[in-house]
Structures are given as structure tokens and as C-alpha cells.
């Protein structure tokens, strides 16, 4: 008998399918699940370590209240009623602009997003700060302008490409693509395919790449502008594609005329011939690109994304097979919020809009510390640890101490939980129903109804239940008719009909559907999350339905129910949809259906990238001669999710990586403690000398400095980053370019 239970890894966005053995309510063995259609048995070292996530003695088991600096256990009733009362008071006194939701939707806890955002919208607040707005919103803003919606993600069609460009992406360690190491090695070894890494250092991905373009950190905009100008000078652009599918090309052409690509490439510390040959490949091969934090978190972040969009378009690679294609999804992980829409809430003090409906964590400290009457005063955090994850921990510590109310929902006693007035214990990714909304495949769309595999050992609740109780206590849920509750206990079909009748007669109830589902179907299913997932599938948009019927589900009124049941019957996950490969362009949502490349607000920024201006800007100061790449996503890190250091036993972790040449100049030896100083702060850290760092650049991994059993494990790199060091459009942090100095202690 197969007594392995099917689940998934909750440590990164790949959510690989796993099989686990459970003994005495403990996960004791983990394997990749070959039946999972997306990961097909693949699991990385992190995934095999999930018992360290699930079982450790910093797990939260009871609601906690901070009284005189100490946490005391309280009942759920007390926690919910006190929090609701304080929220109501804050709302009455200072209004909804003083409220913010933070996080809400982690790597393995996606469904809570539906509940948390519904709660805050109904309280009147549009402030939702989220990790997406500290990595991806500049990129998504570009997609929004080019393709018409910030929700349209043009991902690489890596399975059908001839050449994959890894631009500021280290997939060998970070994945960001199903079975990344396997696929990257396959591409690199294939006689007719190419893997190109554009990365300052010899990253694990650059090491196996066929071509490594080792540009100087922070020179991506110079390189991209050079590539465009070479292609246009040589007249290599795909004019037929441009004529048919692109709007605005003629208006931007002149922005690249007369650009001194030769000198720019020299400033990037690259060989002109290598870049020229790359341009030839870009205009002759069928290629796609995977851009990531190396450019999103580097100088000119949003501009980098814009310039690479232009390169893709002039090479005819957007929305074509093997190129960058608009992925399908069940529900997008973010929304669309155009900053030109007057309804878009800008932050009061720093004046940043919501992009993808998310506000940038970088500005939250200023929004709290401001003296504006509507400054932020109430923050509810879930599935996020701003005190370690977001730039400038010192600024966050100061700001969070000024809040009237800080509530943290987490599975563990995080650094943020420790500063909170109330801490609410959530069921973990293995104790709750959940799913993945991350779409990383094309043309197939993946889905999994992930079942709980262990029981919570304490009073933990699913986050969906916690938010429902809060909404109820705040009076946001209307009294529900008995008939609805009865129908929920009968069957889903009867319930669906009853719910439609109820909403038909009470249209306002639409605003709180997740809570209504939670209080009815959720009770019957013993999971608010599962009830919400049912609702999401049954009301999915037309494009989803088309994709689903292409994947073999029966179109028509029973489609949603058929899919939901299929999900319950296939806990390993399944292909829920299949995109229309030939007509990817049809998904574009601009007014004329074309890809737009002329954004007036990018004109000055694009033109400002000159050899002269960049030479000046890139000149290191005497005070800070090196560049810190603050926070790589390496094998020994899983954001801040893995708290028990036991999972890394025997590994060398949380060091400062430095190139041998720099170490020699500075007279430093491997293993010694060094002092690193930046604008934001200073820290002592163990030195690791490695060819994996480029000369002039040092690296510290992300996700350390967690406090576990009275000990601080490694160094929190965000004591070294400044929240004001950020992109001008998206306010995303420039973590990959932090000027610093390193010296012996």
C-alpha cells in the first residue's frame, strides 16, 4: 500500500509536488512526486528539508497578546474581539488611510490573499504592502504599459526556445522555473540550443552557460541601450513584426541614435565583439529571456525592464512560440492598478502609487513615521517578516514601535511577531488546504488543491478563518439565511444555486463573498480556504474557461464543478488549462491590440543614460569603494521561512563573499571576521573568498539574522540596506547595488 501523502513544497514559487511519510503527526520522509505534472518528481535540497519548517519549537500554537513587554496566551475570542475593537476605534478616529495590510499570501499560503484583501477593502483601505512591490512591480508596470494590463506576465517559453537569456537571474540556485537546474543544463548541453547568462559574476548559472556576459554591476541599462543601438544601426530589427504588432517604435527610435555603444560597452567592462555577436544572435535565433532580481534590484531597475521589453520587441520575440509569452493562470497573483487612474491611492508622505494593487514595503517606515494626520497607525501582517525581509531593518524597528496596533499572523515567532501587540497562530502549509497561483509553464496551466497532511498541534487556524472571524467581529458580514447554511451541508450544487439566489437578492453581499463562503461552505468543508478555492474556480473568467476546455474539461455550466472535483480526486496536482499557443497576441489588452513601446515618462530616463553621465554615476567613492549585492537567493536560504538552523547543518552559511583579488588587496584571509559598512549601517561577518564574487563586488545572502532559541543565526543583510535607495517609479529597492566598504575587524 502506498502510504505516502501528496502535497507540495511551500518554500518557493515553484511549489514542487511532494510525497511525504507521516508518522505520529510528524513529516518524517520527503520525496519529489513523479505524478505531479509540473515538477515530475523534481525536488531541490530545500524541499527535502520541509520537516524543519513544519516541526520546530518556535511554532505558534496560541493567540498571544503583548502585555508589559511579555507575551501571554489568550483565547481566540478575546484576541478577535480586542483586535476588532481597536481596529474600529482606529478607523473611527483616523480613517481607513491609517490602515495597511502587509504580505498576505506567502510562498505556500496563497488563498489567504482573497480573505485579507476583502477585509481591508471593506474597511475602506486600499493600502496593501507586499513583497511583489519590492521586486517585480517595475517590471509589471512595463508589462502593463506594453501589453495593457499589469497582470499579463510575459514569461519565457523555455521548453520551445533556441536560446534562453538569464538576465540577472541565477536559476541554478533560485529556480523561478520548474525543475530549473535540469532544464538549464539541458539547454546548455543541447547541440542546437544556447544558454546565455548576463551576470556580473560567475554565478552558478553563468558557470554552465554557453555564453557569459560578465558586465560590471549596475551597467545593465548601458548594455541594453548598446544592444538596441547596435541592432538599429545595423538595421537588423524585425521590421515586418514591428509593422504588424508594435505601436510607438518610430517615436522611440531617435532615443537610441548617436549612442556611443562602443564606449558604453567598455564602461560595462565588456568586449565589444562579444556584445556585437550577441546582437547577431538576438536577431537570428528564436530566443526568450528570463529577467530577475539582478536587474530589478539594480540601478535603473524599471528602465532595465523597459529596455529589455524593447529588445524583445524589435527582435520579434514577444508573444510568439519560444519567445516571451503571456502565461495563462487560474487567478493572477496580483491586480492591475494604473497610476494614472485618479482612484489609485498614492502613499501620503512618499507619493508612490499602487502598482499591481500593491504598495512598496520600502516606503512603509516613512508612512508610519510621518506627521501627517492620516499617517499609517494600524498594520496587519500575514505571511511576511518585514523585520528581516524589507530594506532598512532599523527604520522598520523605529516605525513599528510607533504603531497604535500591529497584528501579526504567522506560523512561527518571527522577528516581526515579536514586535507585535497581538500574534495570531496560523495553520502551516501542511495543516491547511491551499493551492498555488504561481504560473510558470506554457502552454499548460498548473493547479493543485493541496490537502492538509498533518494536524495542527495547538489552536492554530487557517488564515482564511482568522480573517473571517475578524470581519465578523467588525460587523462586515451580513446575517446569513439558514437556508444557505443548510444547503452548504447538503451538496455543492444545491449550495451554488442557493448562493446565487441569495446574492441575486442581496447584491451588496458580493463584496464579502469569501467570508460568506467561509461561514457556510467553509464550515461544511472544515476549511474556509477550500471554500474560497471552490468559489474562485466556479467564477473564473472566460479566458480561464477556454483554457480549461482546451485541457479536456467540459465547457458549459458544470465546468467549474468538474474541475473542482477533479482537483479533489487528484491531490498530486493537474493541468487545469492549456493556452492557445498560436494566438498569444490575442491576449494583449492595449486599445489597439498592439505592443506599445513608447512610454512618454521613459523618454528622459532613457536619454539620460549616456557614457558621460554613467561614468560619473558609477565612479566609486573613497568611502565606499565596493558594491554589495545585498541578499542573493542561494541554496541555503528559503527567504525567512526556515527558522531552525538545523536544516543547514554542515553547510557554510551567511558569509560575505569576496573575490580573491580584492581579498589580496585588502590583506584579508578566508574565514576571518570582517566589518562591512554601508550608508545604512555596519555589521561583522565571516569572510568567504571565492571566484563566485566579481572583483569590486561582495555578496551577502538574503534571509539570515533570524533569532532562534536565543541565538541570532547569521547576519541580517537588511541592517545594511537603506529604504530610500529605491527605484523612482516602483520604489523597489536597489539591493544589488549597495556601495560599501569592507575592512578587517
Instruction: List the one residue from 33, 220, 465, 614 that touches ligand MGD (CB under 6 A).
Output: 220
Q: Decide if 645 contacts 703 (C-beta within 8 A).
A: no
Smaller CB separation from Mo ion, 133 or 537? 133
Smaller CB separation from ligand SF4, 16 or 524? 16
Instruction: List the one residue from 33, 157, 158, 199 that touches ligand MGD (CB under 6 A).
Output: 199
Instruction: List the one residue from 638, 674, 689, 713 that touches ligand MGD (CB under 6 A).
Output: 638
CA distances from 198 to 164, 187, 192, 221, 493 (A): 11, 16, 20, 12, 53
Give the total of residues touching ligand SF4 (CB under 6 A).
Answer: 11
Smaller CB separation from ligand SF4, 47 or 522? 47
In the complex, the smallest distance separating the C-beta of residue 633 from ligand SF4, rounded to whole angstroms, is 10
Instruction: List the one residue from 19, 38, 149, 175 that touches ligand SF4 (CB under 6 A).
Output: 175
In the complex, the smallest distance separating the C-beta of residue 131 from Mo ion, rounded to whole angstroms, is 6
In the complex, the smallest distance separating the C-beta of residue 638 from Mo ion, rounded to whole angstroms, is 11
Site pattern 114..143 for Mo ion (x: CB under 5 A): ---------------------x--------
Q: Which entry of ligand MGD, Mo ion, ligand SF4, none binds 392, CB below 5 to 8 A by partner kind? A: none
CA distance 226 to 198: 14
CA distance 369 to 353: 19
Instruction: List the one residue from 109, 111, 350, 659 that touches ligand MGD (CB under 6 A).
Output: 109
Q: Which entry of ligand SF4, Mo ion, ligand MGD, none binds 220, CB below 5 to 8 A by partner kind? A: ligand MGD
What is the C-alpha radius of gyration for the chain, rounded to an integer number of angstroms? 25
CA-nearest of 209, 257, 197 to 230 is 257
Smaller CB separation from ligand SF4, 46 or 722? 46
Binding to ligand SF4 by residue 12, rule CB under 6 A?
A: yes
* Cα–Cα–Cα angle for 322, 326, 327, rounded to 5 degrees: 95
Site pattern 17..46 for ligand SF4 (x: CB under 6 A): --------------------------xx-x
Number of separate helices (H) and strands (E) present in the chain = 29, 28
Q: Decide if 577 contacts 328 (C-beta within 8 A).
A: yes
Binding to ligand MGD by residue 135, rule CB under 6 A?
A: yes
Binding to ligand MGD by residue 409, rule CB under 6 A?
A: yes
* Residue 73: how many other CB atoms lie within 10 Å: 12
Binding to ligand MGD by residue 170, rule CB under 6 A?
A: yes
In the complex, the smallest distance separating the C-beta of residue 700 from ligand SF4, rounded to whole angstroms, is 20
Give CA 534 to chain center in angstroms: 24
CA distance 50 to 47: 6
Instruction: List the one residue from 15, 203, 312, 347 that touches ligand MGD (CB under 6 A).
Output: 203
Binding to ligand MGD by residue 413, rule CB under 6 A?
A: no
Q: Decide if 440 contacts 13 (C-beta within 8 A).
A: yes
Stretch that binds ligand MGD, among 67-75, 279-287, 405-413, 647-655 (CB under 6 A): 405-413
| In the block, residue with C-alpha cell 529577467 | 291
Q: Decide if 330 contacts 537 (C-beta within 8 A).
A: yes
Smaller CB separation from Mo ion, 142 or 595? 142
Three-class HEC string of 261-329: HHHHHHHCCCCHHHHHHHHHHHCCCCEEEEECHHHHCCCCHHHHHHHHHHHHHHCCCECCCCCEEECCC
Q: Which entry of Mo ion, ligand SF4, ligand MGD, none binds 16, CB below 5 to 8 A by partner kind? A: ligand SF4
Give CA 439 to chain center in angstroms: 12
Could you tell me the three cell numbers for 62? 496560541
Q: What's the distance, Cα to Cα, between the start and end of the chain in Å?
A: 59
CA-nearest of 407, 431, 409, 432 to 419 is 407
Q: Which residues of this chain interact with ligand SF4, rule CB under 6 A?
A: 9, 11-12, 14-16, 43-44, 46-47, 175
Binding residues for ligand MGD, rule: CB under 6 A, are: 12, 46, 103, 106-109, 131, 134-135, 167-170, 173-176, 198-201, 203, 217-218, 220, 292-295, 298, 382-385, 389, 409-412, 414, 426, 428-429, 463, 629-635, 637-641, 702-703, 717-718, 721, 735-736
Residues near Mo ion (CB under 5 A) are 135
Amino acid at each position: 500500500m502506498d502510504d505516502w501523502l501528496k502535497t507540495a513544497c511551500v518554500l518557493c514559487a515553484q511549489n514542487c509536488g511532494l510525497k511525504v511519510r507521516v508518522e505520529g503527526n510528524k513529516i518524517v520522509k520527503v520525496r519529489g512526486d513523479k505524478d505531479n505534472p509540473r515538477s515530475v518528481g523534481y525536488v531541490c535540497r530545500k524541499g527535502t528539508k520541509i520537516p524543519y519548517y513544519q516541526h520546530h519549537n518556535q511554532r505558534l500554537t496560541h493567540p498571544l497578546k503583548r502585555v508589559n513587554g511579555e507575551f501571554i496566551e489568550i483565547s481566540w475570542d478575546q484576541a478577535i474581539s480586542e483586535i476588532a475593537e481597536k481596529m474600529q476605534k482606529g478607523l473611527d478616529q483616523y480613517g481607513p488611510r491609517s490602515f495597511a495590510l502587509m504580505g498576505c499570501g506567502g510562498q505556500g499560503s496563497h488563498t489567504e490573499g482573497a480573505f485579507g484583501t476583502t477585509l481591508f477593502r471593506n474597511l475602506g483601505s486600499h493600502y496593501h504592502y507586499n513583497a511583489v512591490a519590492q521586486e517585480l512591480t517595475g517590471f509589471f508596470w512595463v508589462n502593463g504599459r506594453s501589453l495593457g494590463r499589469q497582470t499579463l506576465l510575459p514569461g519565457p517559453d523555455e521548453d520551445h526556445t533556441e536560446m534562453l537569456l538569464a538576465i540577472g537571474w541565477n536559476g541554478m540556485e533560485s529556480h523561478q522555473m520548474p525543475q530549473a537546474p535540469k532544464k538549464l543544463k539541458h539547454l546548455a548541453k543541447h547541440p542546437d540550443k544556447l544558454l546565455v547568462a548576463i551576470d556580473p559574476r560567475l554565478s552558478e548559472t553563468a558557470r554552465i552557460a554557453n555564453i557569459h556576459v560578465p558586465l560590471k554591476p549596475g551597467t545593465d541599462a548601458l548594455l541594453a541601450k548598446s544592444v538596441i543601438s547596435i541592432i538599429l544601426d545595423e538595421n537588423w530589427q524585425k521590421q515586418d513584426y514591428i509593422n504588424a504588432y508594435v505601436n510607438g517604435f518610430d517615436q522611440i527610435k531617435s532615443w537610441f541614435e548617436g549612442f556611443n555603444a562602443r564606449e558604453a560597452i567598455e564602461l560595462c567592462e565588456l568586449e565589444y565583439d562579444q556584445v556585437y555577436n550577441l546582437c547577431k544572435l538576438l536577431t537570428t535565433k528564436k530566443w526568450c529571456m528570463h529577467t530577475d532580481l539582478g536587474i530589478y534590484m539594480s540601478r535603473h531597475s524599471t528602465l532595465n525592464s523597459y529596455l529589455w521589453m524593447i529588445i524583445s520587441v524589435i527582435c520579434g520575440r514577444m508573444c510568439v512560440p519560444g519567445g516571451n509569452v503571456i502565461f495563462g493562470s487560474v487567478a493572477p497573483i496580483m491586480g492591475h492598478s494604473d497610476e494614472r487612474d485618479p482612484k489609485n491611492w498614492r502613499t501620503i508622505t512618499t507619493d508612490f502609487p499602487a502598482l499591481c494593487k500593491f504598495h512598496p514595503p520600502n516606503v512603509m517606515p516613512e508612512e508610519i513615521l510621518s506627521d501627517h494626520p492620516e499617517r499609517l497607525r494600524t498594520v496587519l501582517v500575514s505571511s511576511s517578516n518585514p523585520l528581516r525581509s524589507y530594506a532598512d531593518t532599523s527604520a522598520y524597528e523605529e516605525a513599528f514601535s510607533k504603531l497604535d496596533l500591529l497584528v501579526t499572523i504567522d506560523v512561527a515567532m518571527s522577528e516581526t511577531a515579536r514586535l507585535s501587540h497581538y500574534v495570531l497562530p496560523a495553520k502551516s502549509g501542511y495543516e491547511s488546504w491551499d493551492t498555488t497561483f504561481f504560473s510558470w509553464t506554457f502552454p499548460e496551466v498548473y493547479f493543485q488543491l493541496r490537502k492538509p497532511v498533518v494536524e495542527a498541534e495547538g489552536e492554530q487556524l487557517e488564515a482564511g478563518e482568522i480573517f473571517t472571524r475578524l470581519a465578523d467581529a467588525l460587523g462586515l458580514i451580513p446575517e446569513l439565511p439558514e437556508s444557505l447554511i443548510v444547503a452548504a451541508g447538503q451538496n455543492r450544487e444545491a449550495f451554488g444555486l442557493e448562493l446565487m439566489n441569495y446574492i441575486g437578492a442581496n447584491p451588496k453581499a458580493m463584496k464579502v463573498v469569501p467570508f460568506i463562503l467561509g461561514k457556510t461552505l467553509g464550515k461544511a468543508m472544515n476549511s474556509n480556504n477550500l471554500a474560497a478555492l471552490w468559489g474562485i474556480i466556479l467564477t473564473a473568467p472566460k479566458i480561464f474557461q477556454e483554457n480549461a476546455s482546451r485541457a479536456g474539461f467540459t465547457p458549459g455550466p458544470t465546468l467549474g464543478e468538474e474541475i473542482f472535483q477533479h482537483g479533489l480526486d487528484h491531490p498530486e496536482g493537474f493541468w487545469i488549462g492549456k493556452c492557445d499557443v498560436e494566438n498569444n497576441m490575442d491576449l494583449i489588452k492595449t486599445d489597439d491590440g498592439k505592443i506599445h513601446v513608447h512610454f512618454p515618462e521613459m523618454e528622459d530616463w532613457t536619454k539620460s543614460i549616456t557614457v558621460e553621465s554613467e561614468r560619473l554615476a558609477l565612479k566609486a567613492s573613497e568611502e565606499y569603494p565596493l558594491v554589495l549585492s545585498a541578499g542573493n537567493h542561494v541554496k541555503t536560504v528559503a527567504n525567512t521561512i526556515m527558522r531552525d538552523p538545523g536544516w543547514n547543518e554542515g553547510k557554510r552559511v551567511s558569509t560575505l563573499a569576496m573575490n580573491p583579488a580584492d581579498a589580496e588587496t585588502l590583506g584579508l584571509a578566508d574565514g576571518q571576521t570582517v566589518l562591512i559598512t554601508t550608508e545604512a549601517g555596519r555589521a561583522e561577518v565571516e569572510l568567504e573568498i571565492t571566484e563566485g564574487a566579481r572583483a569590486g563586488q561582495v555578496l551577502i545572502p538574503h534571509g539570515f539574522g533570524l533569532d532562534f532559541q536565543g541565538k541570532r543565526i547569521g547576519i541580517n543583510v537588511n541592517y545594511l540596506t537603506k529604504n530610500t535607495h529605491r527605484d523612482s517609479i516602483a520604489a523597489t529597492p536597489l539591493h544589488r547595488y549597495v556601495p560599501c566598504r569592507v575592512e578587517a575587524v
